[in-house]
Homo-oligomer: A and B are copies of this chain.
Amino acid sequence: MKEFSARQKEIIRAAIELIAESGIQSVTIKKLSQKIGIAESAIYRHFENKLEILLGILSQFRSSKMEALEYIQAADATEIEQLQMVFSERFKQFTRNPAITAVIFSEEIFQNDKRLADEVYAIMNSSLKMILSIIQRGQQNKSIRSDISADQLSLIIIGALRLLVVRWRLSSFSFDLTKEGEKLWLSIRQMIRA
């Protein structure tokens, strides 16, 4: 896992904010340096080039997500409880850092570079695998319905979660994500229980 200095983290945070404010096209070295309050050239003391900054965004998100997911997997909880934890943890993460939502469910913004695109794809799949394995265990001990495959259930669950977050963002965070997320979870639980 990559370690970032304080300044590096600051640059990454500024980049995320720029994306959230006005899209990937507004992430320029000039705007980054202005946002932080240093000279453009100073950015290059901390990152080799712009690509490394963008990779930094993804790397940081990946590790904070992994942390949350490992904590959940380690918890002594039923599968349904674990799924609920995935929901509430993700929503908590997004509420704490709303700008990241502009980045993480918008795979297309990183499509201009293969390394970026691959990393985004990997992040997406890691979530999917985690949810999938919880559901499979739940189906084995009959706490989750088995008439629909685990693949399909995880697609449906993650799809709903993503769409709720996207709508939250496109509405300029105009509703309470935690509350709506809780409502969504109750609906999903109702639909997947055995």
Binding site for B on A (CB under 8 A): 19, 22-26, 102-103, 106-112, 117, 120-121, 124, 147-149, 152-153, 155-156, 158-164, 166-167, 170-171, 183-184, 187-188, 190-191
Question: Given that A183-B152, A190-B148 are known contacts, is A108 also in contact with B106, CB under 8 Å in the complex?
Answer: yes
For the complex, what is the distance from the CA of A84 to the CA of B173, rounded to whole Å?
Answer: 32
Roughly how many angstroms separate A152 CA and B167 CA in the complex, as a whole number? 13
In the bound complex, what is the Cα–Cα distance between A143 and B7 (angstroms)?
58
User: Is the Cβ of B152 less than 8 Å from the Cβ of A26?
Assistant: no
Q: Are B24 and A166 in contact (CB under 8 A)?
A: no
What copy number does this chain have within its complex? 2
Chosen A-B contacts, 17 in total, with CB atoms closer than 8 Å, are A22-B112, A23-B110, A23-B112, A24-B109, A25-B25, A106-B109, A107-B170, A108-B108, A109-B109, A120-B170, A124-B170, A156-B156, A156-B191, A158-B159, A158-B163, A159-B159, A159-B160
Q: Which residues of B contact A107 (CB under 8 A)?
A: 106, 166, 170
With A24-B24, A106-B109, A107-B106 in contact, is A155–B147 under 8 Å at CB? no
Report the nearest B residue to A101, measured CB to CB.
Answer: B108
Complex Cα spacing A111 to B161, Å: 21
A-B contacts besides A148-B187, A159-B161, A159-B164, 14 pairs, CB < 8 Å: A23-B24, A23-B108, A24-B108, A107-B166, A109-B109, A120-B170, A121-B171, A148-B190, A153-B187, A156-B160, A156-B184, A156-B187, A159-B159, A191-B191
